[in-house]
Amino acid sequence: MSIFSMQNEDGKEAQFFDLLIKKRVYYGLIYSIISIPIAALYFVFVFGGLLVGFALLPIWIGVPFLNTHFRIIWVLSKFEEKTFEKYSGILLPKISPFIPSNKSSYHRFIDYMGNKRTWIRIGYFSLKLFWRSIFAIPGLFLITLSGLLIYTPVNSVFGHIDIYSFYQTDSFIEVILIFFVCIIIWVSILHLINYLFTISAHILKFFFCR
């Protein structure tokens, strides 16, 4: 097996450049970028709602408010699962949904508060912005590199390459070499993004499938 090939899920030898034609990897790239602002909104909503709800507990309205908030958190976690599965192509294990008591608003509140799965989901939305930002770094670098791949051959038509004042050359051979090196780096980052999605699946399994 050469450095330009790897084993795929079927045990067959897959070539290094195969990811270039796999839509799932590009969906993963898009998801990595757009998930950052979404994660920020999740964080503000989850903790803003908890602060307001617990502040309202002394006047009792906090109980139905928090019940609604906890319910929305569960719905958001299910939406998060479906979104991840759609963009990554990785299916997550399914577990039975949590159904709180129907006796009264107070009993539902106790059920939500006493269920560790509620707090695990809150923990997930607390950390999502941090780890999604880390996972998005390869995607942002890939977009920058894509601009370089377009810039280099286009500018070579004019006979001189100046790559953001970092590297200059008048040699067409060097331009071709730079282009192919960038292609290899580009595909390597696609492999990294693909690997990070596998890690993301394990993170979601830890928080949502227990």
Output the DSSP codes for the chain. Answer: --TTEEE-TTSSEEEGGGGGG-HHHHHHHHHHHHHHHHHHHHHHHHHHHHHHHHHHGGGSTHHHHHHHHHHHHHHHHHHHHHHHHHHH-PPPPP-PPP---SS-HHHHHHHHHH-HHHHHHHHHHHHHHHHHHHHHHHHHHHHHHHHHHHHHHHHHTTT-EEETTTEEE--HHHHHHHHHHHHHHHHHHHHHHHHHHHHHHHHHHHHH--
The phi-psi region of residue 141 (left if phi > 0; otherwise alpha if psi is between -120 and 50; otherwise beta) is: alpha
- pLDDT in the model for residue 197: 76
Q: What's the whole-number mean pLDDT along residues 160-175? A: 62
Mean pLDDT of the chain: 76
How high is the pLDDT of residue 44? 93
Tokens 């002394």, residue? 58
Please check whether residue 153 is in contact with residue 179, taking contact to mean a CB–CB distance below 8 angstroms: yes
Instruction: Name the most confidently modeled range: 50-54, 96-100, 173-177.
Output: 50-54
pLDDT-based confidence at 138, cuts 50/70/90? confident
Asked if 63 contacts 105 with a C-beta cutoff of 8 angstroms, the reply is yes
What is the band of 2 on the pLDDT scale with cuts at 50, 70, 90? very low
Residue 125's nearest CA partner among 203, 64, 67 is 203
What percent of the chain is modeled with pLDDT above 70?
Answer: 74
Instruction: Return the structure tokens found at 3.
Output: 């450095």
Is residue 14 scored above 70 in pLDDT?
A: no
Q: For residue 8, how far is the Cα from the chain centroid?
A: 22
- The answer to whether 152 and 146 are in contact (CB under 8 A) is no
Residue 7 is predicted with a pLDDT of: 44
Inform me whether the pLDDT recorded for 10 exceeds 60. no
